Amino acid sequence: MKKCSPFSLGATLYMPATRTDLLDVVLKKKVTDLRSLVVCLEDSVAESDVEIALRGLGELLAGIDIQGGRPEGGPLLFVRPRNAEMSAMLNDWLLIRHVDGFVIPKLRLENTVDWVSSVANPDLLVMPTLETAEAFNPSTAAELGQALKAGFDERILALRIGANDLLGCLGLRRHRMFTLYDTPMGYVIPMLAGIMGAQGFALTAPVFEQIAMPELLEKELRLDISHGLVGKTAIHPAQIKPINDAFRVSSNDLDCARLIVEQGAPAVFKFNDAMCEPATHYRWASNIIDRAKWYGVRAHAVAA
């Protein structure tokens, strides 16, 4: 199994498997700053186009194989199957070795066993998506986390939060003038971040639907990062750079993090007029260092 940091995801772009330019994206001929791509066979593909989409995925994998594999520095590549049955079929494809893993849609406690058995290939990472009504229930979320750990263990790269589907459970769609945190997701995201984060899972932030509202996207990203989310789904390539830039760390945070993880660091010390306690802040510091590795440092940024 490939070792992978959840911070390597950055802005994740979903593209339907019916598109004809997928190979160009994988080979970095298009959308050159993309860090992670999900080829979708689920909601973005009509039922009548499923066979076309499967052929498209097969052609993509064959094209990668002809090239001798994916290029160094290209985007991580995931596939989102339509259901567990399709997942089991794709799991057995020989050329699925060119894929980093599967994104699991509509995960529920009752279908977790089906999904675990359908992604039996130990080399495939998984990113389960929390996007059903169960995600509103803290006790069910905690139980789901335990089931995922038992079934997939370290193969889970991150949990994805599907806010559009969650709002759909309530008959809502986000207002274009507000962040997700101004909707019922303002309860769900912190709750999932707490319950799943405490179990050791990384979580990614939901998509921001508006393409032409960069200031609101920036505001939502600050809230995403303050809740410990590690990446964000992009609706359009224009969002990739703003998302990745938002995850840069401040030089102050990076300096502080390095002091905290330093062997022999004092049990308590002051840095930049704030108390630092390695026993408490070690995980935060490790995450800051990992973020800096993938996104870099901005010298004059608000700490996150």
Better pLDDT: 59 or 153:
59
Average pLDDT over residues 107-127: 98
Residue 303 lies in a domain: no
CA dist 51 and 219 (Å) reads 40
Is the distance from CB of 162 to CB of 130 less than 8 angstroms?
A: yes
For residues 127 and 267, state if they share a domain: no
Answer yes or no: is 68 within a domain. Answer: yes
Same domain, 261 and 232: no
What is the per-residue pLDDT across 182-228, written as a single tens digit (0 to 9) for each? 999 999 999 999 999 999 999 999 999 999 999 999 999 999 999 99
The model carries a pTM of 0.95
Q: Which domain holds residue 294?
A: 251-298
Share of the chain above pLDDT 90, in %: 96
Please count the structural domains in the chain: 2
194 and 85 together in one domain: yes
Q: Percent of the chain, pLDDT > 70? A: 98
Domain check: are 187 and 97 in the same one? yes
For residue 138, pLDDT over 70 is answered with yes
**Known binding-site residue numbers:** 165
Of 221, 216, 249, the C-alpha closest to 233 is: 221
pLDDT at 90: 99
Residue from 291, 298, 239 nearest 5 by CA: 291
Say which CATH number the domain at 211 has. Answer: 3.20.20.60
Half-sphere exposure for 119 (CA within 13 Å, toward CB): 32
Name the residue among 36, 106, 118 with its Cα closest to residue 70.
36
Answer yes or no: do 80 and 30 share one domain.
yes
- 289, 227: one domain: no
CA 61 to each of CA 57, 93, 105, 121, 139: distance values in angstroms, whole numbers, following the listed order = 6, 10, 21, 17, 40
In a domain? residue 23: yes
**Distance (Å, whole) CA 220 – CA 203:** 15
Q: What is the pLDDT of residues 77-115, one digit of tens each?
A: 999 999 999 999 999 999 999 999 999 999 999 999 999
256-302 pLDDT tens trace: 999 999 999 999 999 989 999 999 999 999 999 999 999 999 966 45
- Partners of 205 in the β-ladder: 232
Residue 141 domain-assigned?
Answer: yes
User: Bridge partners of 159?
Assistant: 203
Q: Which residues line the annotated binding site for Mg(2+)?
A: 165
Is position 304 within any domain?
Answer: no
* Pair (180, 108) in one structural domain: yes
**Which pLDDT does position 3 carry in this prediction?**
85
**What's the sign of the alpha-carbon dihedral 224, 229, 232, 233?**
negative
Asked if the structure places residue 1 within a domain, the reply is no
Last residue of a domain, one of 246, 270, 288: 246
